[in-house]
A and B are shown apart, each in its own frame.
Chain A
Amino acid sequence: MPKLTINGIAVEVPNGATVLQACQLAGVEVPHFCFHERLAIAGNCRMCLVEQEKAPKPIAACAMPAADNMVILTESERARKARKGVMEFLLINHPLDCPICDQGGECDLQDQAMAYGFDRGRYLENKRAVKDKDFGPLVETSMNRCIHCTRCVRFIGDVAGVADLGGIGRGENMEIDTFVGKALESELSGNIIDLCPVGALTSKPYAFAARPWELRKTESVDVLDAVGSNIRIDSRGPAVLRILPRLHEDVNEEWISDKTRFAVDGLAKRRLDKPYLRRAGKLVEASWQDAFNLIATRLNGVAGSKIAAIAGDLADAEAMMALKDLMAALGSSNIDCRQDGAALDPSNRAGYLFNTTIAGIEQADACVLIGTNPRVEAAIMNARLRKRWLQGGFRVAAFGPKLDLTFPVTSLGAGPEGFADRAREFLKDAKNPMIVVGQGALRRKDGAAILAAARDLADGVGAVREGWNGFNVLHLAAARVGGLDLGFVPGSGGRDVAGILAGAEKGEIDFVYLLGADEIDMNHLGRAFVVYQGSHGDAGAARADVVLPGAAYTEKDATYVNTEGRVQLARRAVFPPGEAREDWSILRALSGVVGKILPYDSLAALRAQMAKTYPTFLGVDHVPQAAWGPFGKSGALDPAPFVYPVADFYRTDMISRASPTMAECAAVKSASSQPKTGTHG
Chain B
Amino acid sequence: MSEAPSGAPFEQPASFAFTPENRAKADAYIAKYPAGRQASAVLSLLYLAQDQHDNWIPRAAMDHVAEILSMPPIRVYEVASFYTMFNLRPVGQYFLQVCTTTPCWLRGSDAVMDACKKKLGVGVGGTTADKKFTLLEVECLGACVNAPVIQVNNADFYEDLDGASTEKLIDALARGEKPPKGSVIGRQNAAPIGGPKTLTELK
Contact = CB atoms under 8 A, between A and B. Distances in A.
Interface string B70-97: 0011110110011110000000000000
A165 B14 contact: no
Contacts of B60: 681
B1 A163 contact: no
B78 A173 contact: no
Given A173-B2, A681-B60, A681-B63, A168 B78 contact: yes
Contacts of A678: 14
B59 A169 contact: no
A29 B115 CA distance: 57
A167 B73 CA distance: 12
Contacts of B63: 681
Contacts of A179: 73-74, 77, 81
What is the size category of the interface that chain B forms with chain A?
10 to 19
Nearest to B13: A681
Contacts of A157: 72
B188 interface: no
Contacts of A671: none
Given A167-B78, A179-B77, A681 B14 contact: yes
B14 A163 contact: no
Nearest to B66: A163
A124 interface: no
B138 to A, nearest CB: 14
B6 interface: no
Contacts of B2: 169-171, 173
Given A180-B59, A681-B60, A170 B81 contact: yes
B14 A679 contact: yes
Interface in A121-165: 157, 163-165
A212 interface: no
A678 B14 CA distance: 7
B12 interface: yes
Contacts of A163: 72, 74-75
A166 B59 contact: no
B74 A164 contact: yes
Contacts of B78: 166-168
A166 B82 CA distance: 11
A166 B72 CA distance: 10
Given A179-B81, A681-B60, 9 more contacts: A164-B74, A167-B78, A168-B1, A168-B77, A170-B83, A178-B74, A180-B77, A678-B14, A680-B14
A173 B73 CA distance: 20
A178 B74 CA distance: 7
Nearest to A169: B2
Contacts of A681: 12, 14-15, 59-60, 63
Contacts of A165: 74
A130 to B, nearest CB: 12
A679 B82 CA distance: 27
Interface in A636-680: 678-680
A168 B78 CA distance: 5
Nearest to B82: A170
A169 B14 contact: no
9 contacts: A163-B72, A167-B78, A168-B77, A168-B78, A168-B81, A169-B2, A170-B84, A173-B2, A180-B59
A192 to B, nearest CB: 14
A394 B90 CA distance: 45
Contacts of A680: 14
Which of A168, A171, A178 gathers most chain B CB within 10 Å? A168
A168 B60 CA distance: 17
Contact of A166 (B14, B15, B74, B84): B74
